[in-house]
Structure 1
Amino acid sequence: MARTPDPGARESADEEEGWLSSDEVARLWPVRKDCLPRAAHLADVRVRTYGGASRGTWGAEPTFYSFHPGDVQRAAEAIAEGRVDIPSALRTDTADGRRAEFWGTLSARVAGTLLLAALLGALLMLLYLVVFLLTVE
């Protein structure tokens, strides 16, 4: 089954309905949102990708995914019946998956807090420098 449709190929009449976003698929599947493309690969779901182009030394653009609605529905039933083997660390209904999501969220929040503290410290040091230079003759 094709992962990404040929860009020049026309869709048939039954495939003209809108493809589903990651948010919509995350509500249907018990899979962590950041792991949806891998789970879709395991369930043979067609996926379209947008973005992700290289910006050279500045990294890459964010990558967005959309999923074929018919394949998503078929996979939702297969996942619920246990016919698709999705590792427990990718799922939201297992202890391993909840633990991975917790630590990922916690590490992102700690990194954000440290960055904010560093910026605040730099701003206070700059303010101290300005006050010091204004008071010294």
Structure 2
Amino acid sequence: MPNTPEPGTPESGHEEEPWLSSNEVAKLWPVRKDWLPGVARRADVRVRSFGGASRGTWGAEPTFYSFHPGDVRRAAPAIAKGHVDIPSDWRTDTPDGRRAEFWGALIARVASTLFIAAVLGGLLLILGTVIFLLTVE
């Protein structure tokens, strides 16, 4: 695209508009939040990322992204009209995307509920063991 700057182009010093967060971009684009950085790369939108440092065996820190506001606005009509090649399960306006979003949310809720149940069960087991040991002579 002719209006797209090269990835290494430095930012102008007089830029006043703050870069957009993932939440703000998700409101403008019909794309699932998890896939915003991938769609931004496909649409030639400049992206800054921070975080994601390794924690060794504990995994990595979360990675946060911010998007150039002018590039986001320029790419929004092309994304909405389907001119940018995006898999259908990345989008929020397709049946595949809505299905993937539904199942992702359902699995997260079920996993959270099972984790809380396991923690409460463990606490009750420990409490019952302590009470049993205190009452037995």
| TM-score between the two structures when normalised by the length of structure 2 | 0.91
In the TM superposition, 1:2-81 aligns within 5 A as 2=7, 9=10, 11-13=11-13, 15-81=15-81
Amino acid at match of 1:136: V
Q: Name the SS of the counterpart of 1:65 in structure 2.
A: strand
Residue identity (%)? 73
Q: Name the SS of the counterpart of 2:48 in structure 1.
A: strand
Alpha-carbon distance in structure 1 between the residues aligned to 2:27 and 2:101: 16
Amino acid at match of 2:118: A
Amino acid at match of 2:60: A
Give, in angstroms, the shift of residue 81 of structure 1.
2.8
1:66-109 Cα distance to aligned partner (Å, 9 max, x none): 00111101110111232112111000000000000111111111
Alpha-carbon distance in structure 2 between the residues aligned to 1:36 and 1:75: 12
Alpha-carbon distance in structure 2 between the residues aligned to 1:123 and 1:114: 14
Q: Which residue of structure 2 aligns with residue 98 of structure 1?
A: 98
Give, in angstroms, the shift of residue 54 of structure 1.
0.4
User: Which runs of no fewer than 5 residues in structure 2 stay unpaired?
Assistant: 1-5
Alpha-carbon distance in structure 2 between the residues aligned to 1:56 and 1:15: 37
Alpha-carbon distance in structure 1 between the residues aligned to 2:81 and 2:106: 32
Q: Which residue of structure 1 aligns with residue 129 of structure 2?
A: 129
Q: Which residue of structure 1 aligns with residue 113 of structure 2?
A: 113
Alpha-carbon distance in structure 2 between the residues aligned to 1:57 and 1:13: 40
| TM-score between the two structures when normalised by the length of structure 1 | 0.91
Structure 1 segments of 4+ aligned residues over 3 angstroms from their partners: 13-16
| Alignment RMSD (CA, Å) | 1.4
In the TM superposition, 1:81-96 aligns within 5 A as 81-96=81-96
Alpha-carbon distance in structure 2 between the residues aligned to 1:132 and 1:43: 64
Alpha-carbon distance in structure 2 between the residues aligned to 1:45 and 1:28: 14
Amino acid at match of 1:63: T
The aligned length equals 132
